[in-house]
Homo-oligomer: A and B are copies of this chain.
Amino acid sequence: MTTGEVGTISPEECWVLLEDESFGRLAYRLVDEVHIVPLDYVTSGRSIYLRTQAGNKLLAAALSSDVALEIDWRGEHGAWSVVVRGRLRLLEAAEHPLEVPAARPWVTDAASEVVELVPEVVEGRRFSWS
């Protein structure tokens, strides 16, 4: 039997991890379905910014529901995960806080929009085992 330890990552440390990382997965609802897509993001202040294709079906769905963005790391004897839950907000061009990279891997043309994930809950957990 595996012994394991679970610890909470403070919100401060969650943001350090979010700032160090740039690749996560966004989960959102589409009616009764749950979808999850990988994407690139950037942080600025205490928000998260994504670039998505204009008219994207994902964007339309995600704008009308709560979403969760997850980043993680898993090694041989430990792992951590940070989840940001909140709502998406479509930004006007003038609002872009910084150069948001094309959200590889899911954007392939220039017709894109920038979306802010306004965090409501930021939680992290760290795990270790032998």
Which residues of A are in contact with B by a Cβ distance under 8 Å?
Answer: 1-6, 23, 25, 27-29, 32-38, 65-68, 70, 72, 74, 78-79, 81, 83, 85, 102, 104-108, 110, 125, 127, 129
Roughly how many angstroms separate A81 CA and B66 CA in the complex, as a whole number? Answer: 22
Taking CB atoms, residues of chain B closer than 8 Å to A65 are 32, 34
Copies in the complex: 2
Are A105 and B85 closer than 8 Å at their CB atoms? Answer: no
Taking CB atoms, residues of chain B closer than 8 Å to A33 are 66, 68, 85
Nearest B residue to A78, CB-CB: B105
Chain A to chain B contacts (Cβ below 8 Å), 18 pairs? A1-B102, A2-B102, A2-B104, A4-B104, A27-B35, A29-B29, A29-B32, A33-B66, A33-B85, A34-B66, A34-B67, A34-B85, A36-B83, A37-B83, A79-B105, A81-B105, A104-B129, A106-B127
Taking CB atoms, residues of chain B closer than 8 Å to A1 are 102, 110
Secondary structure of the A side of the interface?
strand
Are B25 and A36 closer than 8 Å at their CB atoms? Answer: yes
Taking CB atoms, residues of chain B closer than 8 Å to A4 are 102, 104-105, 107-108
